[in-house]
Amino acid sequence: MSAAGGLPPWLSEEAHAQLRRDPWFGQVSAPVAQALLSLATLRMLQPGERLFLRGDAPDGLYAVLSGGVRISGVTEAGKEAVLALMESPGWFGEIAVFDGLPRTHDAVADGPTRLLHVPHGALLAWLAREPVGWRELGVLMSLRLRLSFINLEDMALLPADARLVRRLLWLVEGSPRQAADGSCVLPISQGELGSMLSLSRQTTNQVLMDLQQRGVLRLSYGRIEVLDRLGLLDAARLSSAEARILKHWRLEPPAN
């Protein structure tokens, strides 16, 4: 970013507008947003290319410009559990900025992917000069922590069908693929969704088939198309506190 506050040459006005749709980045102060963009570089990944692996040293903060990144854990036997799918304009990697500890999960490109990368050293140097930035990053981490606690409670207390409905809702609300009518195509398979919730393939399929019969969604190979957002929201039965968090987390569909 130039001294006059222009965008980096590799970041289009359209991509910048998409970044500002992110619930976190869209609310950071103008000086912090400008500083992060001025430090950022462009990172390109091919399908299946690894961004970082468990045990890697922290290398900074990322935002997805296009494509997607799957955050997962893999056992020594090769069994994978997908924890999150980061799509544009999602930001991630902030935890290691705070504690400086190694990455705890793998991050792999889901198709051709373009990333905004704020390098670790440059980011820490800027934060040393402008400590107000720590609060902004803390807000990002706090939002992620709230969602994690909600998911942990769901896993401990709710039956399989309720857990799956609620996880689908969070995925839809945080997806840039949501249309103005609330429909949304999630690029995730039944198996990957089940692994997020520690559900068997059979149980996952039974719950999804029931939702399909009710007209809430439609199943396709490697993806789930949510047709009735309000029906999904009603089935999720969120508390008032969860509804407030969801409203804050939700990406507003782009104007037509």
For residue range 196-231, what is the model confidence (pLDDT) as tens digits?
898 999 999 999 999 999 999 999 998 999 999 999
Which has the minimum average pLDDT: 16-20, 22-26, 76-80, 159-163? 76-80
What is the reported pLDDT for 134? 97
92 three-class SS:
strand
Cα first-last separation, the chain: 29
228 token code pair: 């009735």
Which has the minimum average pLDDT: 118-127, 156-165, 242-251? 242-251
What dihedral do alpha carbons 48, 45, 15, 42 form, nearest 10°?
A: 160
Residue 238 above 90 pLDDT? Answer: no
Strands (DSSP E) contained in the chain are 41-45, 50-52, 60-66, 68-74, 80-87, 91-92, 106-109, 113-119, 184-186, 217-220, 223-226
Q: Would you call 250 exposed, middle or buried from its count of C-beta atoms within 10 A (0-12, 13-18, 19+)?
A: middle
Q: What percent of the chain has pLDDT over 90?
A: 66
Determine which helix (DSSP H) or strand (DSSP E) holds 175, and give its type and residue range.
Answer: none
Q: CB neighbours (10 Å) of residue 172?
A: 23
Residue 1 above 50 pLDDT? Answer: no
For the segment 3-25, the average pLDDT, to the nearest whole number, is 84
Residue 145 above 60 pLDDT? Answer: yes
Query: For the chain, which domains are there?
Result: 13-146 (2.60.120.10), 159-249 (1.10.10.10)
For the segment 27-43, the average pLDDT, to the nearest whole number, is 95
Question: Is the Cβ–Cβ distance between 175 and 87 less than 8 Å?
Answer: yes
What is the reported pLDDT for 79? 78
- What's the rounded Cα separation, in Å, for the pair 116 and 65? 7
Residue 19 above 90 pLDDT? Answer: yes
Mean pLDDT of the chain: 90
- pLDDT tens-digit series, residues 170-188: 888 888 888 878 789 998 8
- What's the rounded Cα separation, in Å, for the pair 103 and 16? 27
Strands (DSSP E) contained in 96-137 are 106-109, 113-119
- What's the rounded Cα separation, in Å, for the pair 229 and 120? 38
Residue 4 above 60 pLDDT? Answer: no
What is the reported pLDDT for 130? 95
Q: CB neighbours (10 Å) of residue 60?
A: 21
